[in-house]
Amino acid sequence: MSPTLAARGDIAGAKSASGRIAAVYSEVQTSRIDYELPLPSVLRSSFKIVDGPASSAAGNPGEIAKLFPNLFGQPSAKLVPSESDALQPEKNLKIGVVLSGGQAPGGHNVICGIFDYLQEHAKGSTLYGFRGGPAGIMKCKYVELNTEYIYPYRNQGGFDMICSGRDKIETPEQFKQAEETALKLDLDGLLVIGGDDSNTNACLLAENFRGKNLKTQVIGCPKTIDGDLKSKEVPASFGFDTACKIYSEMIGNVMVDARSTGKYYHFVRLMGRAASHITLECALQTHPNITIIGEEVAAKKLTLKNVTDYIVDVICKRAKLGYNYGVILIPEGLIDFIPEVQHLIAELNEILAQDVVDEGGLWKKKLTNQSLQLFDLLPQAIQEQLMLERDPHGNVQVAKIETEKMLIQMAETELEKRKQEGAYKAQFKGQSHFFGYEGRCGLPTNFDSSYCYALGYAAGALLQGGKTGLISSVGNLAAPVEEWTVGGTALTSLMDVERRHGKFKPVIKKAMVELDGSPFKKFASMREKWAVTNCYISPGPIQFHGPSSNAVNHTLLLELGAQA
């Protein structure tokens, strides 16, 4: 029995009678199952698909055109009201769906959305759930999803309905396996729910199927709590809203504790390696004293010492005001944004691969001056971690570095120095936190529940409408759900190329925090005030009823111009 099967089995066993669900579901989980989801009004009556103008690419259109000869240039699509249903209502469809990459709240609702679409618009259709991510496609491991099967997962967190995986369909053999599955199951379409890489992969699959004259169409869906898959047409990736609200609940609680206790600095590291959207959003929700945004650190080419000094400067300023407590947010990927750290790690990887490290420290002479200085600046525990913990390729494990603890130790050292210089007179006590796994599988907010359901429902329409190589796109998200727009965006239009191993590879560029974007500018305009006063906001637990239950995150509202 695989974990996937077993996990499903546990809940599936519960679904046969509502009494059984009560046995393994909390009251809140149970109440969410029957939560009635609003649908954008265009999806509630007859609609047709209208194509936009021919599209291009985000960069290097010539190369993208070569990589996607069958798909490049295709228009994006929009669903508009129609007098009669213009799609092919008689035809039964065979559709597959797959979850790819890390969990994000709302994934189950995407599946429920496409399932309900097929039930309502293409009765008699079949929906296959590929198990354990893209590997499930390649190995043709699937389950047929029906009403009973998906019922207990409605509006629930997690990806356990069919589970996910991190495999990629990349090599010619893997594409061949995917083709075989498509043929074997006679698939009309495939919905790939994933992040930037997975959607790039979806587009390659779509191109490949089209090139081989297979009927299987492929539609993507934007998923990632990190919030780094977005564009003008795809205003948000799902899961970001819920994850940020869960982290902000915890941060708000810690803030009230900090203010009540009056003696701790809480260093909170937040999930999000590649981009700092989560940290920025949590800052906008909670108003911490200090927030480090990786993109700013990179743009300003800050060193670790600069970051430490910035933190310590604020701590000293606050001490003079009588505040010896505070809350500091740090993105998980911080050290990836610091160029000198990258240099040090590259040098260490080189040295450790070739040499035995001598106790006397002679090996250090192989470091460049800059790297040696940085290494000596690091707390001993981090130095040891860098030397000892290596991945199977012998590389330093950057991801394992507990940045929040490292910064606490570095702040301690610097504050001790300033104390001796007479510039700091208070006591510093740091507390560390890491919020990560707690936010990936929470019950989706009303926003993520509705957004995902619409994304899945729209994907059904796009597949029935014969579309391929599009990413499901729901817009106008600052308005009530009824007014949301629905369509699909050409995946190739989001792409650029990167040169890897001498070849051009298509990529959907990760959306980083833009330093001239509204969310960062709002934050930047407030942070000095937040640093020295205590404007803490405690968002409290996510509510599913009442006035706050339909609030949308600040990042999205600011980007849409719906918040000043």
d(CA 102, CA 225): 9
Site for a second copy contains 357 (CB under 8 A): no
Q: Which two tokens stand for residue 549?
A: 């239950």
Burial class (CB in 10 A: 0-12, 13-18, 19+), 262: exposed
Please identify which residue in 130, 142, 325, 453 interacts with a second copy, judged by CB under 8 A: 325
Told to check if 536 binds a second copy by CB under 8 A, we report: yes
Instruction: Return the residue of 322, 360, 361, 502 that touches a second copy, per CB under 8 A.
Output: 322
Q: Which stretch binds a second copy (CB under 8 A): 254-262, 331-339, 341-349, 520-528?
A: 254-262
Task: Assess 32 for contact with a second copy (CB under 8 A).
Answer: yes
* Phi, then psi, of 435 in degrees rounded to 5: -110, 115
User: 275 with 546: CB under 8 angstroms?
Assistant: no
Asked whether the beta carbons of 434 and 388 are under 8 A apart, the reply is: no
Q: Does 154 participate in binding a second copy (rule CB under 8 A)?
A: no
Q: Choose between 374 and 407: whose C-beta lies nearer to a second copy.
A: 407
**Catalytic position from the list 116, 160, 226, 241:** 226
Nearest one of 69, 49, 51, 53 to 61, comparing CA atoms: 69
158 makes contact with a second copy (CB under 8 A): yes
Tokens coding 351:
């040295």
Longest CA–CA separation in the chain, Å? 82
**Integer-rounded Cα radius of gyration of the chain:** 25
DSSP secondary structure letters along 190-242: EEEEE-HHHHHHHHHHHHHHHHTT---EEEEEEB-TT-----SSS---BTHHH
Residues in a beta bridge with 94:
126
Asked if 111 and 154 touch (Cβ cutoff 8 Å), the reply is: no
Is residue 153 within the footprint of a second copy (CB under 8 A)? no
User: Of these, 17, 19, 27, 365, which contacts a second copy (CB under 8 A)?
Assistant: 27
State the DSSP string of 102-147.
S--TTHHHHHHHHHHHHHHHSTT-EEEEETTTHHHHHTT-EEEE-H
Which region, judged by CB under 8 A, interacts with a second copy, from 184-192, 352-360, 435-443, 517-525? 435-443
From 205-213, 321-329, 346-354, 497-505, give the range in contact with a second copy by CB under 8 A.
321-329
Q: Does 4 bind a second copy (CB under 8 A)?
A: yes
Under the criterion CB under 8 A, does residue 41 sit at the interface with a second copy? no
Read off the tokens for 266. Answer: 């809480």
Among 76, 103, 464, 468, binds a second copy (CB under 8 A): 103
Segment lying near a second copy (by CB under 8 A), choices 22-30, 206-214, 464-472, 511-519: 22-30
Residues annotated within the binding site for substrate are 224-226, 263-264, 271-273, 332, 437-440
Out of 360, 361, 422, 546, point to the residue binding a second copy (CB under 8 A): 546
Of 28, 528, 558, 560, the closest CA to residue 285 belongs to: 558
Please report how close the Cβ of residue 447 comes to a second copy at its closest, in angstroms.
14
Q: Report in angstroms how near the CB of residue 441 gets to a second copy at its nearest.
A: 4
Q: Which listed residue (12, 138, 150, 254) binds a second copy by CB under 8 A?
A: 254
Q: Per CB under 8 A, does 128 bind a second copy?
A: no
Q: Which of 43, 64, 112, 163 binds a second copy (CB under 8 A)?
A: 163
Are 259 and 289 in contact by the 8 Å Cβ rule? The answer is: no
Residue 164 as a binder of a second copy (CB under 8 A): the answer is yes
Please tell me the count of residues contacting a second copy according to CB under 8 A: 71
Among 16, 88, 92, 261, binds a second copy (CB under 8 A): 261
Q: Report in angstroms the alpha-carbon separations of 334 from 75, 122, 344.
A: 38, 48, 15
SS3 at position 19: helix
240 Cα distance to chain centroid: 6
Question: Residue 44: which residues within 8 A CB-CB, separation 6 or more?
Answer: none
Binding mask 473-492 for a second copy (x = CB under 8 A): --------------------
From residue 190 to residue 229, what is the string marking binding to a second copy with x (rule CB under 8 A)? ----------------------------------------
Which token pair is 228?
Answer: 């780094």
Query: Between 243 and 297, whose beta carbon lies closer to a second copy?
Result: 243
Decide if 226 is catalytic.
yes
Point out which span in 76-84, 248-256, 478-486, 502-510 binds a second copy (CB under 8 A).
Answer: 248-256
Map the footprint of a second copy across residues 274-313, applying CB under 8 A: 285
Q: Considering the rule CB under 8 A, would residue 545 count as an interface residue with a second copy?
A: yes
Helix axes 107-121, 446-464, angle to 10 degrees: 40
**Which letter, b or e, does each residue of 405-431 get, where b requires 16 or more Cβ atoms within 10 Å of its Cβ?**
bbbbbbbeebbeebeeeeebebebebb
Q: Rule CB under 8 A: is residue 443 a binding residue for a second copy?
A: yes
Question: Residue 206 and residue 53: Cα distance in Å, rounded?
Answer: 20
Q: Which is nearer to a second copy, 360 or 502 (CB)?
A: 360
Choose between 196 and 249: whose C-beta lies nearer to a second copy. Answer: 249
CB of 260 to a second copy, least distance (A): 4
217 versus 534: smaller Cβ distance to a second copy? 534
Contact between 2 and a second copy per CB under 8 A? yes
User: Any contact of residue 404 with a second copy (CB under 8 A)?
Assistant: no
Q: Can residue 246 be called a binding residue for a second copy (CB under 8 A)?
A: yes
Q: 519, 284 in Cβ contact below 8 A?
A: yes
What's the min distance (Å) between Cβ of 438 and a second copy? 5
**Is the separation of the CB atoms in 474 and 37 below 8 Å?**
no
Q: Identify which of residues 213 and 380 has a Cβ nearer to a second copy in the complex.
A: 380
Nearest-approach distance from CB 79 to a second copy, in angstroms: 31
Among all residues, which ones are annotated catalytic? 226
